[in-house]
Amino acid sequence: MKEMDIMAHSITFRCLFIVLLFSVVVILPTHSVDVTVGLLAGSNELGEVEEAAYQWADENYQATILTTGNNGTFKNSSGTAIKLDQFAVLWLFYTETNKLPEPFLADATKKAILDYIEAGGGIFLSALGLRYVADLGVEKGGIPRNLSPLGKSPPEIGIKPTDDAKNHPVFKGFDTNEPIFLTSMAQAGFSSDFHNFGATAPAGKILGTKTRGGGAGGGERPFVEYDVKDGKIITLGHHNGVYTDNKSKEGDNLRNLTENVLNYLAENSAFLAVEPSRKLTTTWGNLKSVLK
């Protein structure tokens, strides 16, 4: 009888412990300062637009710039090897050329990033980085098109939330009944989108179409979410990457939307670190495995 009582108390304590841990995840909102972000870069020498984006991330997140060779390993700016599962979310923002850097296209690199996503990680692919969904084999409907740098004085550019996505967490704080303008100035870098994409829509959930001057875009679908096994990918292509713009509402919109995206991906990541009372460190992925 005593053994049964001990087992009952043990099970009760274990259940209580699990409930308390689960409550920490559910009750505490994800704040940017608590989120680890791996910033994927072709080299330690960043272009102007890329540097502005990653500098903003570094100021608002626990961010680390990661470079890779052709063997699927990643290093920080000091040359120290870093595992991807140390990050709740990855961000690939690239604008320098009309093709992603060769190390990202190496089979070992693609496998490492895809393994991270399938295991429950999240990745934000923006500007030319949108094309990576096809390189990873997640999107099989076609090859996203390239977009050259914007000229002078372009029209207002942004996204129009789709009806199915108006209540999506990425639009927190925005009026989803109106276009969300993200760019109102020239952009130095290259970008990509799903316009004329093999005569089909992309395979993911379309969160937003493109806008020009307030109207819906002609087939451009830059803002898309993919579920990839236990992980997620969100793309933001077209000309929506002017992080150098610090003086306009459009620039503020871009940063606020980016923050929403990174936080959403982190909240759904198996690698989001949870530190209740700053004494116990675990991950949401570990909690989910215990709760099963």
pLDDT single digits (tens) 208-252: 988 865 444 446 789 999 999 999 999 999 888 889 888 889 999
pLDDT single digits (tens) 167-181: 999 999 999 999 999
Residues 205, 165 contacting (CB under 8 angstroms): yes
Assess whether pLDDT exceeds 50 at residue 28.
Answer: no
| pLDDT value for 275 | 54
Pairing of strands 122-127, 89-94: parallel
Q: Which domains does the chain have, with CATH numbers?
A: 1-30+274-292 (no CATH), 32-271 (3.40.50.880)
| pLDDT value for 282 | 45
Strands (E), the chain: 36-40, 62-68, 74-75, 81-82, 89-94, 122-127, 145-147, 157-161, 180-183, 191-193, 205-212, 215-216, 223-228, 231-236, 273-274, 282-283
Predicted structure pTM score:
0.84
- Interval 105-122 mean pLDDT: 98
Assess whether pLDDT exceeds 80 at residue 36.
Answer: yes
Q: Cα–Cα distance between 105 and 131 in angstroms, integer?
A: 11
Could you tell me which residues come within 8 angstroms of residue 260 by beta carbon, excluding any fewer than 6 positions away? Answer: 169, 170, 171, 172, 173
User: Where does residue 195 rank: exposed (0-12), middle (13-18), buried (19+ CB within 10 A)?
Assistant: middle
3-state secondary structure of 20: helix
Assess whether pLDDT exceeds 90 at residue 119.
Answer: yes
The number of helix segments (H) and strand segments (E) in the chain equals 7, 16
| pLDDT value for 118 | 98
| pLDDT value for 252 | 94
- Interval 151-160 mean pLDDT: 77
At 29, the pLDDT band (50, 70, 90 cuts) reads low
Residue that is written with structure tokens 């009806």 in the block: 163
| pLDDT value for 19 | 42
At 200, the pLDDT band (50, 70, 90 cuts) reads confident
At 3, the pLDDT band (50, 70, 90 cuts) reads low
At 277, the pLDDT band (50, 70, 90 cuts) reads very low
Q: Cα–Cα distance between 152 and 185 in angstroms, integer?
A: 7
User: What mean pLDDT is reported for the chain?
Assistant: 83
Could you tell me which residues come within 8 angstroms of residue 233 by beta carbon, excluding any fewer than 6 positions away? Answer: 117, 122, 123, 124, 125, 133, 138, 204, 225, 226
Assess whether pLDDT exceeds 70 at residue 68.
Answer: yes
More confident residue, 33 or 91: 91
> What percent of the chain is modeled with pLDDT above 70?
77
Assess whether pLDDT exceeds 80 at residue 95.
Answer: yes
CA distances to 111, 158, 231 from 215, rounded to whole Å, are 39, 10, 33
At 279, the pLDDT band (50, 70, 90 cuts) reads very low
Retrieve residue 269's tokens: 């990541």
- Interval 135-145 mean pLDDT: 91
Residue that is written with structure tokens 């997620």 in the block: 232
